[in-house]
Amino acid sequence: MTCVLDASMTLSFVFNDEFTPASDRALTLIASHGAVVPPLWDYEIASAVTNATNQSRISEADAAAALHALSNLRIIRSDRPVDISHLVALAHAYGLTAYDAAYLALAMHGGLPLATLDRRLAAAALRAGVPVLQ
């Protein structure tokens, strides 16, 4: 695996108006080498895509095509047990939500860089010594 992939970066693959040069670099790397995500990733992606289709930001057909494209990437769901106390401690230490702390914890544990477009999470990762794909 090359990195921990968070929802913000993933959604930039889905929504054209969020795609950046960093998205392009991350997508190329993930397409070649795969990525790992925490179990909550599926729920975050499903929620964002559902909201986008409900708000007519993206058509259901385009959403289905994007989700199919995501399913063709080698994205591995981590089976590492969740340490809730550790997530809470990370969230407090770095000013993150528990959701974002899950991505940071996974990157820290695996010694992997983090692929994110979330500025707060990226700053926290750098302070924690986790490289951020840019």
82-120 residue pLDDT tens: 899 999 999 999 999 999 999 999 999 999 999 999 999
Position 134 scores a pLDDT of 77
Q: Is residue 39 part of a domain?
A: yes
Give the per-residue pLDDT at 52. 97
Count of the separate structural domains present in the chain: 1
Q: Is residue 101 assigned to a domain?
A: yes
Residue 132 belongs to some domain of the structure? no
Q: Stretch 115-132: mean pLDDT, rounded?
A: 97
- Give the residue numbers spanning the domain of 25: 4-127
Mean pLDDT computed over 52-66: 96
Note the pLDDT tens digit of each residue in 13-38.
999 999 999 999 999 999 999 999 99
12-31 burial, b if ≥16 CB within 10 A, otherwise e? bbbbeeeeeebbeebbebbe
pLDDT tops 70 at residue 1: no
Mean pLDDT in the chain? 96
**Interval 120-134 mean pLDDT:** 96
Q: What angle do CA 115, 118, 119 make, to 5 degrees?
A: 110
DSSP letter at 81?
Answer: P
Does position 54 have pLDDT exceeding 70, yes or no? yes
Q: How is the chain split among helix, strand and coil, in percent rounded to 5?
A: 65, 10, 30
Distance between CA atoms of residues 12 and 115, nearest Å: 11
CATH number for the domain that contains residue 64: 3.40.50.1010
Residue 54 domain-assigned (yes or no):
yes
- Whether 14 is covered by a domain: the verdict is yes
